[in-house]
Amino acid sequence: MNPFGYVQAGNDVSALSYKVQQAGSLFLAGGTCIVDLLTQGALRPPFLIDINALPLRAITLQDDNSLIIGALASNSAVAHHPSVLSGYPVLSESILAGASAQIRNAASIGGNLLQKTRCYYYRDPSFACNKRTPGSGCPAITGANRMHAIFGTSEQCIAVHPSDMAVGLSALDAAIHTESSRGKRQIAIDDFFLLPGDTPDRETILEQDELITAVEIPATPFARKSNYLKVRDRSSYAFALVSVAGAVVFEGNSVKEIRLSAGGVAHKPWRLQEAEQTLLGRALEEGVIARAMESAVAGAKTYRQNAVKVDLLKRCVRLMLHRFREMA
């Protein structure tokens, strides 16, 4: 492991000040992702800024029924919070589908959003990797790519984002609250994550000196009828081959509004907007579901080992819609 500097920030002002002063520094919250990468040599920051003393752990149901989750709230605290369990089941289910209980107890919500890809080549510094070392190459494109993306890939990178929670938040139209020396801003989750393009080392629109302070989930009629479905190699402590988060509002038997977002298939949570359009105003009959399944995989590009993801995604969409049909 490379030597690095370390400091504990007492408040947001000092955390941001350290970030500006120390080029290439990283914030340290739960450490469940970053410590692995430090020991593996995949990340070599010169400086870590420990932000655990910042008052960012509250989970608050607002008067307008939107939910504000502090960036340092643990994954477990959010998944088991009464307001989340009753009002946003897809968020609880997506968090509990990830990692292990011990990791969820330590991992923060902000850190969950910023966790690094599980691409084998990224985590092993003996391999080239454009995300770790820009311009060095992408061995996954012709190598081991069973876990890799089928949407939004580039010639530079085909990695997927590993977070289950982010997929759930995508279906709920969450917003990310941030703070920097330029002020505060709110970023829609769909705008927060970037596709790899020519700069796969840049994964979000966060600036170097910008801190995630909270996640906001709007009060939405979608939230109560929502569900998370994950296909993985074993039933716990495994990353998604494919997952789908869904939320729906019915009018009679017809779909009034619907959100579908897929995980394990792209560099960011992948909204299935064509499939959503296919379903609007229609009852969930088998013919309609079949069309939505095909729409969900339109434009997919597969690699040597991951063509199975196309079929898995179609089946996940079908199962999700069958579950919704039972709720209608």
Residue 265 binding ligand SF4, by CB under 6 A: no
Residue 161 binding ligand SF4, by CB under 6 A: no
Residue 159 binding ligand SF4, by CB under 6 A: yes
Question: Distance of CA 88 to CAs 84, 139, 237, 241, 267, Å?
Answer: 5, 39, 23, 24, 24
Closest approach, Cβ 135 to ligand SF4, in A, equals: 10
Place of tokens 């932000």: 51
Closest approach, Cβ 284 to ligand SF4, in A, equals: 36
Count residues contacting ligand SF4 (CB under 6 A)?
14
Residue 200 binding ligand SF4, by CB under 6 A: yes
d(CA 261, CA 271): 4
Residues 42-101 that bind ligand SF4 (CB under 6 A): none
CA-wise closest residue to 174 among 96, 104, 95: 95
Of 9, 59, 91, 158, the one binding ligand SF4 (CB under 6 A) is 158
Draw the binding track, 116-145, toward ligand SF4 (x: CB under 6 A; -: no contact). -x-x-xx------xxx------xxx-----
197 or 218: CB nearest ligand SF4: 197
d(CA 257, CA 288): 15
CA-wise closest residue to 51 among 68, 76, 26, 21: 26
d(CA 95, CA 164): 6
Residue 193 binding ligand SF4, by CB under 6 A: no
Q: Tell me the Ramachandran region of residue 152: left when phi exceeds 0, alpha when psi lies from -120 to 50, beta otherwise.
A: left
Residue 197 binding ligand SF4, by CB under 6 A: no
Residue 147 binding ligand SF4, by CB under 6 A: no
Binding site for ligand SF4 (CB under 6 A): 117, 119, 121-122, 129-131, 138-140, 157-159, 200
